Amino acid sequence: MFQTQNIGSVVRSLGVNLIKIIHTADIHLDSPLRSLALRNSGLRDVVAAASRSAFSQLVDRSISEKVSALLISGDLFDGKERSARTAAFLMAELDRLGDAGIRVFYIKGNHDAENPITGTLDLPSNVHVFDARGGKEQLTDEVWIHGVSFADRHAPDSLLPRFRAPVPDTVNIAMLHSSLGGSVGHDTYAPCSVPDLVGMGFDYWALGHIHRRQIHSDAPWIIMPGIPQGRDIGEAGPKSATMIVIDQGRIDVTEVPTSVVEFAQIEVDVTEAADDEALRGLLKRQLNALRKRIAAPVGVIRLALTGRPARHWQILRDRDVWIEQVNALAEAAGDLWIDKLMFDLLPPATDESAGGATDELAETMAAIPTEPGFAAFARKEVEALLQDLPAALREKISPDEADRDALIDRLTKAGTDLVLAQMKGAGN
């Protein structure tokens, strides 16, 4: 008896009985990474290919780890655009998985349902696409995969009634694209609750749709893996997929890093920076430390300078110079790129430049935006500028009247600060 137990332990330690599966979702192939860094020619190609590169890394990891399957829980594609290059890329990656003996299970999400590619591709034989009626497929003697796809981009009702019952005495994994109870920034699709999922009797719920990773439960496992590649500063931080390891019916999970480009936001308090050299040194240390924390090959940074530096007005006066210097410091830190440098600075409590004409000018400029004539003029100018932008970008910058008014306020303040900085920072 002792010998049998010992052999069993050795077998498990060698991983003979292990079944590995990678769970991902919301790949959004060819989704544009909406970043000001796209203006930099050195970064443009890397950023443009990031969603593909992240998927290729997942395929590489699947092959190196000898997984049995890759689960894609919806939104493999992005939007309505038909792309022959995307189709060719995807087929090549799926063939790589097939050549390695890895099966792919895929459910269509809301973005897939509106993309014409999903209905025309003749996918390789190692890929199973669940339809909107739902179904189940056997992966091994021990594991079954269940899934339900979106029939079209709108799914206002729960899809749970379309799932078949779990197979007894096996591990059952269910794939679902759902907003669950809702999330900020995401439309409500196929709504359901965590207790609803728990009550279905499955061992692991492979979710998709919400772009932020979250483990909702570990008994059973209910995991939203998040987007594998962030697309803008709103999707900052490292991104990942989930490795599922099944050992004689027991499920363990770990994160699999996937980001090719990682977005990050940081604030640097520059109050104690007494001069330009001290400020450069502080920024250099902060950027070098950030580079060490970012695991992805490339980092795109939104950096805000905060605090009450004595040289407040001089820093604002020389903002264009500081933008160039920060760009250079970021690049020197190693594949860091500045998306935006923000000057959220307050004047020192004791402003040595206070008094005289500059204070009178400040009072005058503060009063101007409250005048009806200025407000009407500013609104007309901003609306004219917005009309020259593409509709999608215009909608993002100023979706409604309140956002337009807020934009006018920000531009007015920035202009006021710039004029005062030129006067108060003169001669320093």
Q: What is the pLDDT of residue 1?
A: 29
Average pLDDT over residues 213-219: 96
Q: What is the 3-state secondary structure (H, E, C) of 290-332?
A: HHHHCCCCEEEEEEEEEECCCCHHHHHHCHHHHHHHHHHHHHH
Grade residue 39 by pLDDT with cuts at 50, 70 and 90.
Answer: low
pLDDT in tens, 40-75: 666 777 777 889 999 999 999 999 999 999 999 999
Grade residue 224 by pLDDT with cuts at 50, 70 and 90.
Answer: very high
Of residues 205 and 44, more confidently modeled? 205
Reading the block at residue 198, the tokens are 């728990």
Grade residue 2 by pLDDT with cuts at 50, 70 and 90.
Answer: very low
The residue with tokens 């600060």 is 417
pLDDT at 165 over 90: yes
Reading the block at residue 235, the tokens are 């999707």
Decide: 198 and 229 in contact? Cβ < 8 Å: no
Give the class (CATH, top level) of 17-258.
alpha beta
Q: What is the pLDDT of residue 161?
A: 94
Flag the least confident range among 37-46, 93-102, 187-196, 320-329.
37-46
pLDDT at 322 over 80: yes
Q: Angle at CA 243, nearest 5°, toward 237 and 247?
A: 155
Q: Which of 393, 385, 310 is nearest to 347 (CA)?
A: 310
Flag the least confident range among 109-118, 160-169, 271-280, 311-320.
109-118
Residue 223, strand partner residues:
206, 215
Average pLDDT over residues 365-388: 75
Q: What is the pLDDT of residue 7?
A: 31
| Helical (H) or strand (E) element with 128 | strand 127-129
pLDDT at 405 over 80: no
pLDDT in tens, 103-140: 999 999 876 765 555 555 789 999 999 999 999 999 99
| Helical (H) or strand (E) element with 341 | strand 336-345
Sheet holding 298-307, edge to edge: 261-269, 298-307, 336-345
Percent of the chain predicted with pLDDT > 70: 77
CA-based max dimension of the chain: 95
> Would you list the domain boundaries of the chain?
17-258, 262-424
Tell me the C-alpha to C-alpha distance, in Å, between residue 198 and each of 63, 94, 193, 308, 376: 32, 32, 9, 52, 56
pLDDT at 162 over 60: yes
Give the single-character DSSP code of 16: T
pTM attached to this predicted model: 0.80
Of residues 187 and 248, more confidently modeled? 248
Sheet holding 18-24, edge to edge: 127-129, 103-107, 69-73, 18-24, 240-247, 250-257
pLDDT in tens, 258-293: 999 999 999 999 999 999 999 999 999 999 999 999
Of residues 386 and 187, more confidently modeled? 386
Give the single-character DSSP code of 368: G
Within a 10 A sphere around the Cβ of 297, how many other Cβ atoms?
14
